[in-house]
Amino acid sequence: SLASKPCCDSCLCTRSIPPQCRCTDIGETCHSACKSCICTRSFPPQCRCSDITHFCYKPCTSS
């Protein structure tokens, strides 16, 4: 399924070295590699991963 593979369409990184990157995608779940997933209590839930990584995952949508 899509949720199991770590991916991110909207990734923001700082210009520092190493960069600090955060995925700003919002969906019903977070990807499998996400350690800190924050969801709203709405239905369906709106979740985003608040992890900070040194890289961006591959895009979820193949454009």
> pTM for the full model?
0.77
30: containing domain? 1-63
Q: Each residue of 15-63: pLDDT tens digit?
A: 999 999 999 999 999 988 999 999 999 999 999 999 999 999 999 876 5
Domain total in the chain: 1
* CATH, residue 38: 2.10.69.10
Q: Which residue has the tokens 């991110």?
A: 8
